[in-house]
Structure 1
């Protein structure tokens, strides 16, 4: 049986390569009556393969297998309420489906073909989303054209931790290499309403921007991602390089900030940032070199100086 399954899987691989090599599912929503199909005889079953994929609704949680056989290896799984692309069906009670870049078999009772009304609704949503994206790209292009008269070489944007870092640098080194846009106790609202507009006036071609915020509102990673992604697109178009430094370690404090919440924030934010933003894992760096905290949230001068040197090193300023 194992030899037979391996042989069948190899045959399927050839078929799938031919079928999916130029597949762009989002462009293939079409009326069922316009689809054609071919019958492909496989060892032990027949696959009716469509000329283009059909949208399918997953109706129950199910395992997707490498072959239309309950004993075949598990490829992945599907969850009720999601959609997949159906490339065909077998004469033994299985659908031939694509999930992302993977393709396999799921039982008939786990999925159903989308209706034409559902397909029309999806097409309308896609068209609306395309219009929104086009409008946003136009806004980004317009904002990117507003180059500052004089662009700052390095810009730090942050909260009280950035304020104390700047103070430590000036106290110990005499001056800070970065233009610092920061405020004690600041949250996302300040970044959106004040911090970004201030920084925007000095960010242009050649600027290197380090953003380090979030410790004061660890539940708002999504809000930070939305604003930072938009403005990173604008500033990148001007010729700036944008970095987001992770929220750094905390210890026992009276503000409800915990390491667990910090990690959740960092992971969620990092996963949403656009490619133009370089992530700086200053959190793990500080944990590796040691941290001297003054109150569980803010750092003593020696740690702030280490963090300052880390930022400059990571952006290529030293």
Structure 2
């Protein structure tokens, strides 16, 4: 602000001097022109050298006046730019979230419950200095009055929103349980923040005797579990209903949100889409209301799919199906 005030003062002073200069120039030129008009011809010839000098003086004054105007305009523009920058800097300072930190006596250990940004201050308006993935163990040194944790991050002090930090190792965000179609989905979309319990060619027996026992190893508070069995044993609809419903209490108590994805359509295969539709209808009607239904069958029938063997899809179809899962889950969170 001192700089802008100084420039403004200089601008006002130069503007005052410029006005005086312009008035003087106008008076001088008028007097000179009047004197020349009143002189006779011989005098004009005699004073031709003086006439040349007068024109030079007028031209010099005019040039100086123009330069003074340009210089003053440039300095005023500098004043405006300086003022604008100062205002923007002040505005930026005012928008940053104010916070205070209560430091811990001892460093605490906590875990990131999802992939989350680490920021330079306790607010989303501060710069991002990094990012940590789900399950990352963090050294926590304090807590802010607006619900953020102060953490040690690569020899820096950073801040993470409190609702993304938990005291115990969290459950994986997404757990997929199923058959060969789930195996191939993993190949298509990867396993970052996801886990898979799946095996090619399997169905009800694998789900009951193997997968059910492995679920607690991966899933916990906050986990979304997507189940997709049935295409290999469509006649076991009632068994799937009973098995899922008998475990929903335990899953819910563990903080797991359960989804069952309908069996998706086939091409030329040993089973028909009519059989699949019957299986899907039975599960949708029989599953506990706490089990969320994903109608992925209708989704692929509407958007299309590509399959080489009639049963398994290409990579693009699996990616589209995964995106559909996420959109349905996102609407219900």
TM-score, normalised via structure 1 length: 0.50
Structure with greater Cα Rg:
2
TM-score, normalised via structure 2 length: 0.48
Question: Greater helix share, 1 or 2?
Answer: 2
